[in-house]
Structure 1
């Protein structure tokens, strides 16, 4: 069973119109699932993309409005699963605010526990502002 099929099964029957604000949080392959699911089902969800893949951006990204961005992304420049230059280019083209962590891997880690904890704190502060 694919991740997308799992999402379809889990979210089947949700009355999205009953919610005033929908936010999808996703990471890695899940970012592909989140954007594709929202696009296919016509859900105007805000999206928090943790370490998106280049493939994530094959799907529409909700445009921001006067209140701000509808999508934000976090990427580590040492991520072997997503080319930094491509992620930067795509986010710029689509007006997606991108928060880079230098030398961080696909988990936004750099191998130094205290630095990694500071990164988590910084990321969560940014997410809180977005919400």
Structure 2
């Protein structure tokens, strides 16, 4: 192991790696000598069609997992001194699933998790960023599960599932703070 580092990006349903949270965290990882792998998947439904529908949510998860399996199954994770999974929304649950299934032991940078993420993610696996106006994950769930699982929780006031508010200037300040915290976490590896 030559101190090689790997960051795997797990996007959300409508939140791809060219959007701010994933785009900038990917750039920070690259600047800090991480090899980047982005997994991509296509879903049978749009995000708004599966909200609060457990069956469709499970179908979306399984569809994405099948598409990811081929990419991640070919990676020798043991060749890396540090592996970080960077996920957004359903991507956070997929990251936790593959961390367990492939026994990676990855560190997790979790942007706006879905509640199912907390059923899968390992104890003390990383940091969670959660918007206090996120309709996908109730605040009490995020707070209780992060405490139970010893995950560091950062909340963003009045922020939605994209960690955005109704004010651009506020979003820019928040994004800077989020990325500083993400980089601090990344540098711990």
Normalising by the residue count of structure 2, what TM-score does the alignment of the two structures yield?
A: 0.64
Which stretches in structure 2 are left out of the alignment for 5+ residues?
1-41, 43-62
Inter-partner Cα distance in structure 1 for 2:171 and 2:114 = 21
41, 44, 51: which is aligned to 2:105? 44
Inter-partner Cα distance in structure 1 for 2:80 and 2:70 = 19
Inter-partner Cα distance in structure 2 for 1:14 and 1:71 = 21
Higher strand share: 2
The one-character-per-residue Cα deviations of 1:53-110 (angstroms, maximum 9, x if unpaired) are 11101114143xxxxxx31000001001110111100001111000000110000001
Is 1:21 the equivalent of 2:76? no
Which stretches in structure 1 are left out of the alignment for 5+ residues?
64-69
Kindly indicate whether structure 1 or structure 2 has the higher relative contact order, using CA contacts under 8 Å at least 6 residues apart.
Answer: 2
Normalising by the residue count of structure 1, what TM-score does the alignment of the two structures yield?
A: 0.91
Inter-partner Cα distance in structure 2 for 1:40 and 1:10 = 14
Which consecutive segments of 4 or more residues in structure 1 shift more than 2 A? none
Is 1:118 the equivalent of 2:173? yes
Inter-partner Cα distance in structure 2 for 1:119 and 1:73 = 15
